[in-house]
Structures are given as structure tokens and as C-alpha cells.
Amino acid sequence: MEPILELKHIHYAYHTPEGETTALCDISFSVDSGEFIAIVGPSGCGKSTLLSIICGLLEPERGLIKLNGKYLRQSTTNIGYMLQHDHLFEWRTVYNNVLLGLEIQHMLSAKTRAKAHELLELYGLKQFENAKPSELSGGMRQRAALIRTLVLDPDILLLDEPFSALDYQTRLTVGDDIGQILRQAGKTAILVTHDLSEAVSLADRILVLTPRPATIASAIPVTFHLEHDTPMQRRNAPEFKTYFNQIWKELNPYA
């Protein structure tokens, strides 16, 4: 089966009046459909730059990117992006926030509106459709932001530290919750995080990056032998600590 995403020998440097900062160096990896990849690495190593390159916001200096076998610029593969802040508009209801992407992309129709209602119901926000974002908890806001992305039916989702603005308790439940939603929906996802336990609880594979310029230090497949492979079950499984320690050592070789 052809991978949904393929990166080969990607290089990227920022050019500023102060000089050149190489952020990515020879990054190659591929992602299969339905796979959940986590990318971890030291702060400032180039993780967000990598996501910006995958969604076409930045052009790599060298290397190629293919989505479903087509070069990025020719691809019709739909990419969704979820950021640290939910960017919900306070002057719009939850339902109208969920419709925002559809409006921007001129995709509003009876069918897509029905889909928005369906997702709000499926993910427990139906009774908040007419509420303002300020009436929702942090976790519910993040769900609303996810629904706004999912209603566009993305083939691949890029998640840039989407839980890091939440407090620790909320972050655990929301991370687990959203991880399960994405898995049940069979979505392909790439999650950038500095939280190793989040990576181990959610991912099928973890890419560990070196300090800047980022190269791939290792790609670690994550397998848990659980009847119900949920993030919460993973956190309680014996393998969890083993994976956590392995990645910790990769990131802190001299600690």
C-alpha cells in the first residue's frame, strides 16, 4: 500500500538579516493511512517547521514531499491543522465556530451543516451548539476546535502541541479523549509534542528528533498488548515506562 505521506531528504533553513538558521536536515519518513505518528524533540529543534512544510506553508529548500503519491503542490489530499490555542471566536456560537472552515472553503451546504450537527452530537457537544465558547470548559473548547477541523473531512491531521495550553489534569483527559476520537474515526495524524507520556499513550510510532538542525535520531514503533488499546489503558500498562525511558534516554543522552 502506498503511504499517505512521504518525505524524502527534506532540508530547510530560515534566512534573516542576522544570518541563516538551519532548522531541518535530511528528514525522511513516511506515514501510512490511519497511522498516528508523534514527533518529539528538544524545544526549538524544528518540529513546528516540519509541520509547516508538510502542510505547504513553507517550501523546503531541498527534498520532496508526496501526499497519496502526488507532489504536495499537485495533491488534492485534504490536510487539517490543530494548534495549541483553539482560536474559537467568542462572538460566534459553538455551532457557527464549527462551520468556520466550511465557510472559508465555500463548502457550506445542507449536507455539510448536517455533518456538523452530527459530529457535535457524536462528540457530546449537541446541547452546547448555541452556547458561546466562554461557556465551555477547556476540554470542550478543544473538542469544538477538533470538530471544526474534522467537519472538513481531512485525510491527514497535523496537531501542533494541541493540549499544551491546558492544565495538567485537563490535558490528560482531553489528550486521551481526542486520541480516541481520531482513532475511532480512522484518521491519520501527526502530533508534535514535548510531552513524552502523551506521545507514548497516543502514537503508533514516535519520531525522535535531534537538537537543531533536526535530523531523525530514531523512529520507535509503539506496540501495546492490550485488549482495549486506549491511551488511559496504555498509561497503566508495564510497557509504558519502558517506552518512556527509552525516549527519555534518546533525548537526554548525557543525563
The residues of the shown chain that bind ligand ADP, judged by CB under 6 A, are: 14, 16, 21, 23, 41, 43-49, 212
DSSP 32: -
Nearer to ligand ADP, 151 or 206 (CB): 206
Residue 60: CB minimum distance to ligand ADP, A: 13
Nearer to ligand ADP, 16 or 184 (CB): 16
Nearer to ligand ADP, 15 or 225 (CB): 15
Phi, psi of 87 (to 5 degrees): 50, 40
Nearer to ligand ADP, 16 or 76 (CB): 16
Residue 49: CB minimum distance to ligand ADP, A: 3
Integer Cα distance of 136 and 75 in angstroms: 37
Residue 161: CB minimum distance to ligand ADP, A: 8
Residue 174: CB minimum distance to ligand ADP, A: 21
Phi, psi of 235 (to 5 degrees): -60, -30
Residue 120's nearest CA partner among 146, 100, 85, 139 is 146
Nearer to ligand ADP, 12 or 95 (CB): 12
Q: How far apart are the first and last CA of the chain?
A: 41
Residue 178 exposure: Cα atoms within 13 Å on the Cβ side: 31
Residue 250: CB minimum distance to ligand ADP, A: 15
| H or E element at residue 28 | strand 19-31
Residue 175's nearest CA partner among 163, 186, 165 is 163
